[in-house]
Amino acid sequence: MASGVFDILHTGHISYLEQARSMGDELVVVVACDDTVRKKKHEPITPEGMRVRIVGSLKTVDRAIVGNGGDMFDTVREVAPDIIVLGFDQTFDAGELEDELAKRGLAGIKVARADECAEDLNATRRIVQRIRSLEGEE
């Protein structure tokens, strides 16, 4: 299982999902719902329905779903993954997440972290900053 916002799909996302796919037989991707994106990051550029459709169409992804916006562990229960792969820049601590999974009766789910993609524009915020800087040049 992998998760993220996936707003403005870029090579960092592709690298993350390829790494996640290589760690298991099936990859389910949880795309953050619009409410979660607003609370934790920014106003979504593309709506959740569009983001889940785009992510679900990628060949590395077996299934994409929209997160429920509530307790993320409900989604983990629903997906029932063997492993959760975190993006390189996601704020979760892998050990703490494994401990919390165990406390909630979800012991045995491994947590791994993907490596950072080497390209410069490997994050949505960097792409948005680049676009803004180009707009200022006009």
> 35: how many CB neighbours lie within 10 A of its CB?
14
Q: Which CATH superfamily is domain 2-137 in?
A: HUPs (3.40.50.620)
**What's phi and psi for 84, nearest 5 deg?**
-110, 125
Instruction: Check if the beta carbon of residue 66 is closer than 8 Å to that of residue 38.
Output: no
Burial category of 48 from C-beta neighbours within 10 Å (exposed 0-12, middle 13-18, buried 19 and up) = buried
- How confident is the model at residue 51, as a pLDDT? 96
DSSP result, 52-103:
HHHHHTSTT-SEEEE--SS-HHHHHHHH--SEEEE-TT----HHHHHHHHHH
Name the pTM for this structure. 0.88
Q: What is the pLDDT of residues 69-120, one digit of tens each?
A: 888 999 999 999 999 999 988 888 999 999 999 999 999 999 999 998 776 6
β-pairing verdict for 110-113 and 83-86: parallel
